[in-house]
Amino acid sequence: MQSMHVGVMNGFSYKEWLIEKSNSSFEEANLDERAQVTGFFSCGSDLRRIQLPSSGYTMANKTDKYTGDLRTSEDVESIAATPAIREPPDGGRGWLVIAGCFLGLFSTQGCWATWGIYLNHYNHYVFPNQMTTLSWIGSLWLASAVVTGPFFSYLTWKIGYRWLLFVGIFCCTLSLMLASLATEIWHLYLTQGFLSGLGASLIWFPCITAPQTWFEKRRGFGVGLAISGSGCGGLALVNVAQAVLEKAGYRWSLRALGFISFALLSFTALVVRPLNPPQKPKQIINFAPFRNMQFNLLFVVQIVTNFSFNIPSTFLPAYASYLRLDDWTAAYLSSIISGVMVMGKIGCGFISDRVGRANMAAMVIILSGTLCLALWLNAHTRASVWAFAALWGFFGGGYMAMIPAVLAQIVGLEEIESANGLVFFGWFFGGLFGSPIASSLIDENGPTGPHYDHAIIFGGVLMVFAGLLALVVRIMRGGINPFRKV
């Protein structure tokens, strides 16, 4: 394939030359049918590349013979006005962005990690024996936490990261303060469930997207470091929530989380920015990533995993109470999961940059499901429950870090915002229905007592299945050679 390089010629701008040239056939270039004319043009101080089809194709022609190529002079005008895309610096200001993302996820996901404590407390002391009804609070949080996903690309262009984050601060803080005043379960549906989840959604998507744009060679490590904030937040805030709950009651426990969230998220809103300005989307919801089969499989992975991924963090404290372990053991199980998730997110992210992110993604998801079936199902002592919590935290944390890292490889940075929004929206269905299904399977108030094994098998089988789908993605990208870095 040949190429022709042109610039600004004899005072005749490339843009004018291109529009003029487009009205004649490119047959004169004597190129193959699918050859391309590759041009450079000057746009301010930036040098950008565009590609045009050749052989019998004109700008006036409305036929989209080669998907993604320019067709009209308006397209050329649009390209000329588009700022150059900056390459990820793999550091610099990116580390400040990572710090902001870390604290944003520390706050929002840390508050979510405390849900198991509140669920257990509500079920025993505030709204006794209403586990299934109460589980919908967590389900509403999980569903609301991804509800803005499909609109994320449009929202970032329309109002920008800063205002998204400011609105998120307002929702997260207000929800916890209002939840502390609740007297009915439906009050908690609206506050600790929906409003808190909506605020978390407005924080989550900027905080997982920004690190992907600032890092390339160390993307797995950068994303893992940012997402490890959720594990650190769980480790710290679970203990804060439990301590304040015991000393001052659950209402002041919720208020304490509200004050902490406001402080940490304020820093997040000040420093988290994308590397490049968001581009105007062609539509409010960009479905373009669904043209990619690997993306479709990753979307299904997200749907399947979220029916099962939150079962341990939600029900493990209640399972410990069922085994008649003390309250602090139950609370610390959530802390252990969150704390080890930090090592899982950073460690798996670091290793994945060397062994392949798709390889690591498939491995950690399959192992997470295997742990449920092999270890949790047979965990009846304090030591075995502790062991499961630690191992689940590591591999579950690895799963959370790997999905964004693999996603950037699959779709590229050009569509990363819309792809992030869509792929994490896959959590909506499992988030909304996963916990109630698990609670129904447990059947705590049934005639034969709770059956946690039913929920454990349900979660484990789904995670293994999702891991096999992730393995298909890995094979599509790199073939069947297990030693190839993919």
Residue ranges in the chain whose pLDDT is less than 70: 1-84, 88, 331, 413
Q: Can you give the pLDDT at residue 347?
A: 86
Q: Can you give the pLDDT at residue 20?
A: 46
Q: Can you give the pLDDT at residue 35?
A: 36
Q: Can you give the pLDDT at residue 220?
A: 74
Only one residue has tokens 């936490």, namely: 145
Whole-angstrom Cα distance, residue 477 to residue 486?
A: 7
How distant, in Å, are the alpha carbons of 44, 358, 361 from that of 365? 47, 11, 6
Predicted TM-score of the model (pTM): 0.68
Smallest CA-to-CA distance from 370 within 471, 452, 465 is with: 465
Whole-angstrom Cα distance, residue 163 to residue 146?
A: 18
User: Which is it for the CA torsion 318, 324, 327, 328, positive or negative?
Assistant: negative
Whole-angstrom Cα distance, residue 484 to residue 214?
A: 26
How long, in residues, is the chain?
Answer: 486
Answer for the pair 71, 62: CB distance below 8 angstroms, yes or no: yes
**Token digits for 241?**
């929530």
Answer for the pair 180, 255: CB distance below 8 angstroms, yes or no: yes
Q: If you compute the radius of gyration of the chain from its CA atoms, what whole number of angstroms results?
A: 25
Smallest CA-to-CA distance from 199 within 129, 274, 265 is with: 265
3-state secondary structure 386-412: HHHHHHHHHHHHHHHHHHHHHHHHHHC
Answer for the pair 304, 469: CB distance below 8 angstroms, yes or no: yes
For 47, counting Cβ atoms within 10 Å of its Cβ (0-12 exposed, 13-18 middle, 19+ buried), the class is exposed
Whole-angstrom Cα distance, residue 409 to residue 394?
A: 23
The strand pair at 36-43 and 46-53 is best described as antiparallel
Residue 357 φ then ψ, to 5°:
-75, -35
How is residue 306 annotated by DSSP? T
**Token digits for 79?**
């390209």
How distant, in Å, are the alpha carbons of 213, 375, 378, 379 from that of 387? 36, 8, 11, 9
For 144, counting Cβ atoms within 10 Å of its Cβ (0-12 exposed, 13-18 middle, 19+ buried), the class is buried
Q: Can you give the pLDDT at residue 367?
A: 95
Answer for the pair 177, 255: CB distance below 8 angstroms, yes or no: yes
